Amino acid sequence: MQHQKAKHFKCNLCPRRLNTAGGLAVHIQQVHKLEPENLPRIDNALPGRDGYEVEIFGMEGIPAPDVADYKRRKEIELGLNPGSISQPPAKRPKVENRAISEDELKAQLEAHKALMGASDPSNLPASSDASTGGVYGAPPQAYSAPPTVVSPPTVGTPTIPPGAPHFFPPPGYPGALPFPMPPGMQMPMPPGFPPLPPMQGPPPGLMMPPPGLHPFSLPPGMAPPPFPFFPPGMSPPGFPPMTTPTPPVHTPNFVPASNPHAAAPPPSVQSQTGTPTSNIAPPELRLPNPALSQTNTPFKKATELKWSDANFSPEEHRAIHPKYLAPKDITNQSQGANSAQSGGEEFRGKKRARAEDFL
Amino acid sequence: MSFFNTTSSSTAVGTAPAPDKDIELSDPPTDSISSLAFSPQADYLAVGSWDNNVRIYEVGANGQTQGKAMYAHQGPVLSVCWNKDGTKLLSGGADNAGRMFDVTTGQSQQVAQHEGPIKVVKWIESPQGGILVTGSWDKTLKYWDLRAPNPITSVQLPERCYTLDVAYPLMVVGTAERHIQIFNLTSPTAAFKTMVSPLKWQTRVVSCFPSANGFAVGSVEGRVAIQYVEDKDSSNNFSFKCHRRDQSPTSKDQSLVYAVNDITFHPVHGTFSTCGSDGTINFWDKDARTRLKTFDPAPGPVPATCFNRTGTIFAYAISYDWSKGHSGMTPGHPNKVMLHGCKDDEVKRKPAKR
């Protein structure tokens, strides 16, 4: 409370400091015997807030619109979702427990079957409780919102191979991901993932490119249904953010909690399975010694690392790009004339004459 | 000190003061520039590019530049360097080959071969003669006597070679997975010292002090470390952050962290430059531990820099360095080489503050 006293509530006639605006008003009136109306404005105050009427002591007594502004500003500084301070993200998914109608039951059953890929026809009627859904992480959400959830989990899960040990706790990893996440950044999935160099244009909402990922053949062994891979009790908080279509873009850190699903595994895929079996023609970056694969250490404060692939340099990524990649068997013999090369030969001929006399 | 007064040329411009604007090289390459090298004997600048070509430009006394020669590789060129007397230009590229261009004859020929792209080529002028060293993504270093088709020796590296620099007898190699190998070129077949980079992020560049008692390391995390080779000097080791930007004009969080693409030392004063993916260039004095100059941000990332042999001209390239992957390669991206005349207070050391 020293700031208010020292900065704002000083009497200018005597060295007295008061605690509140009202107190200052009374003091001036009684001690210096000035009329109440002619009191000088509060020092160092914002123009609309320098009267003596509104009593603010510390954080108490702030009028509502100012409080809202303050919260906005805090959020902008921290770069979070608007509303996330006033309503922090739910720690547990909000699950409704109410009697379900016949039709809803049927719909949920269908959804459940779809999720299970009809391989496990065990019905769980009326099991919308989180308790029965404890075995799988997804079904509670799936049951309560059948239409929306089907796709994102399938997107997220292929990237979680026997990855239970690799499941990073959501808050702990920002920056630990080699998965490049800077907003708007169009980076093909980290090395090891079925390569997507041919991807055209940034998929919307980088994090969850469901349309973009579908065409890719999932590595064998990860065929849908991916559910068996879910570590039991996989934290549901991962899901609500997953279902949001566009993840917050302003996060300077890799906040979206669903990241671990998408990103944690690729380096571990790399290190565990070695070179993933890829039957797509464009080459991919393979670690010569997968055991040495690196991950970036997490940052203490929110940081956006522009080049976050710890295992490969920008030049290596560029060199495998189809535009630059030449046939593998380059040796001393010159390859078939591509335009650059024949252009080069020509130039060499032309320039040779000039070069000869330039020294 | 005037700008282009280094070569005594017949064009009688003479002592022009250093121009305030940097001069753009005429006829730059058509694709991103990977490396720059000034000849040690004259103001000829070699430019290696991802368009598979190496070009040589003459930089004249009054700032005019002219392309003089060009030769091609079969893949993108990743590194260029000159030999000591400036008669030969060496280059290495993603076609796994190292080539030598003889400026007197205008001919180029292949002189080196690796199993993977050659990322760096450097010339070593040893008492026994000149040797080319090439570092490649096939995890080897090879030394070449240019007259023979086979390497003199090959040295195995722990990982892919990303960067290399020589200041005889010191040679420092930076590889993937943050290994750094220090070689004493009097016994070049094995590393004198192997260490892990003091920076916790991927190594991008290493550069030796001209005094050969230490080196600078730059990483992808906007940081440079100054390291001395001798353990007794290790108390002088330090690192500093650079090439970072704030997320927004209001927050001073310096949270956008760019890679340091190149570090080059001034041949005379021992001060050095750094350049980054953020498009900025800085000059620093490592002994006074201060920054000497900041350039205005360039319209694109700066992948390579080079001082000329007298330190009066500083060349820097502006071209896309793939820091955003393929999608950053927009058609209108600037692709050029700029020449900056160095003023004294930009490159001279400052008295150390004690």
Q: Identify the closest residue of chain B to A302 by CA–CA distance.
A: B255
Q: Identify the closest residue of chain A to B162 by CA–CA distance.
A: A313
**B144-161 residue pLDDT tens:** 998 888 999 999 999 999
| In contact, A93 and A100? CB cutoff 8 Å | no
* B78 lies within 8 A of chain A by CB: yes
pTM: 0.56
Q: Which B-chain residues 288-317 have CB contacts (< 8 A) with chain A?
A: none
| In contact, B82 and B89? CB cutoff 8 Å | yes
**Rounded distance, CA A347 to CA A339, Å?**
12
What is the per-residue pLDDT for A169?
A: 44
User: CB-CB: which of A289, A304, A330 is closest to B256?
Assistant: A304
Judge: A316–B50 Cβ closer than 8 Å, yes or no: no
User: CB-CB: which of A294, A308, A324 is closest to B50?
Assistant: A324
Find all residues with CB under 8 Å of A33, minimum gap 6, and list them.
none
Q: Look up the ipTM and state it.
A: 0.88
Residue stretches of chain B with pLDDT short of 50 = 1-17
User: CB-CB: which of A288, A340, A352 is closest to B72?
Assistant: A340
Q: Mean pLDDT in chain A?
A: 58
How close, in Å, is residue A273 to chain B by CA atoms? 19
Judge: A326–B94 Cβ closer than 8 Å, yes or no: yes
Q: Where are the domains of chain A?
A: 1-54, 59-85
Cα angle A329, A331, A333; round to 5: 115
Judge: A296–B96 Cβ closer than 8 Å, yes or no: no
What is the per-residue pLDDT for B111?
A: 94
What is the per-residue pLDDT for B185?
A: 92
Q: Which B-chain residues 133-162 have CB contacts (< 8 A) with chain A?
A: 137, 139, 159-160, 162
* A188 lies within 8 A of chain B by CB: yes
* A337 lies within 8 A of chain B by CB: no
> Does the N-terminal peptide bond of residue A226 adopt cis geometry, omega within 30 degrees of 0?
no
Task: List alpha helices for chain B, DSSP H.
Answer: 344-347
* B178 lies within 8 A of chain A by CB: yes
User: Which residues on adjacent β-strands are paired with residue B66?
Assistant: B58
| In contact, A290 and B243? CB cutoff 8 Å | no
CATH topology for B23-347?
A: Methylamine Dehydrogenase; Chain H (2.130.10)
What is the per-residue pLDDT for B228?
A: 95
What is the per-residue pLDDT for A322?
A: 87
Which of chain A's residues have a Cβ under 8 Å away from the Cβ of B68? 351, 354-355, 358
Q: Phi/psi of residue A142, each to 5°? A: -60, -40
Which of chain B's residues have a Cβ under 8 Å away from the Cβ of A286? none
**Rounded distance, CA B177 to CA B197, Å?**
9
Please, what sign has the CA dihedral across residues A124, A126, A131, A133? positive
* A348 lies within 8 A of chain B by CB: yes
User: CB-CB: which of B75, B96, B160 is closest to A324?
Assistant: B75
**Rounded distance, CA B327 to CA A187, Å?**
7
| In contact, A94 and A144? CB cutoff 8 Å | no
Judge: B202–A341 Cβ closer than 8 Å, yes or no: no
* A331 lies within 8 A of chain B by CB: yes
Amino acid at A243: T
* B110 lies within 8 A of chain A by CB: yes
What is the per-residue pLDDT for A81?
A: 52
Q: Is A72 helix (H, G, I), strand (E, B) or coil?
A: helix
Q: Phi/psi of residue A264, each to 5°? A: -60, -45
- pLDDT in single tens digits along all 359 residues of chain A: 778 777 778 887 788 888 887 888 888 888 888 666 566 777 777 777 777 777 777 777 777 778 888 888 877 777 655 555 555 555 666 666 666 677 778 877 888 887 776 554 444 444 444 444 444 444 444 444 444 444 444 444 444 444 444 444 444 444 444 444 444 444 444 444 444 444 444 444 444 444 444 444 444 444 444 444 444 444 444 444 444 444 444 443 433 343 334 333 333 333 333 333 434 445 677 777 766 667 777 777 778 888 888 889 999 999 988 888 865 544 444 433 333 343 334 444 444 444 445 55
- HSE value, Cβ hemisphere, 13 Å, CA-based, for B348: 6
What is the per-residue pLDDT for A217?
A: 43
Q: Is A6 helix (H, G, I), strand (E, B) or coil?
A: helix
**What share of chain B in percent tops pLDDT 70?**
94
The DSSP 8-state label assigned to residue A123 in this structure reads -
The DSSP 8-state label assigned to residue A159 in this structure reads G
**Rounded distance, CA B325 to CA A279, Å?**
22
- HSE value, Cβ hemisphere, 13 Å, CA-based, for B163: 30
| In contact, A75 and A122? CB cutoff 8 Å | no
Which of chain A's residues have a Cβ under 8 Å away from the Cβ of B71? 344, 347-348, 351
Q: Residue B244: how many CB atoms within 10 A of its CB?
A: 20
* B68 lies within 8 A of chain A by CB: yes
**A231-257 residue pLDDT tens:** 444 444 444 444 444 444 444 343 334
Which of chain A's residues have a Cβ under 8 Å away from the Cβ of B70? 344, 347-348, 351
What is the per-residue pLDDT for A53?
A: 73
| In contact, A230 and A144? CB cutoff 8 Å | no
* B332 lies within 8 A of chain A by CB: no
Judge: A302–B110 Cβ closer than 8 Å, yes or no: no
What is the per-residue pLDDT for A93?
A: 62
**Rounded distance, CA B265 to CA B268, Å?**
9
| B107 burial type by CB count under 10 A (0-12 exposed, 13-18 middle, 19+ buried) | middle
Q: Identify the closest residue of chain A to B72 by CA–CA distance.
A: A344
**Rounded distance, CA B352 to CA B354, Å?**
6
Element (H, E) at B102: strand B97-102
User: CB-CB: which of A252, A296, A319 is closest to B94?
Assistant: A319
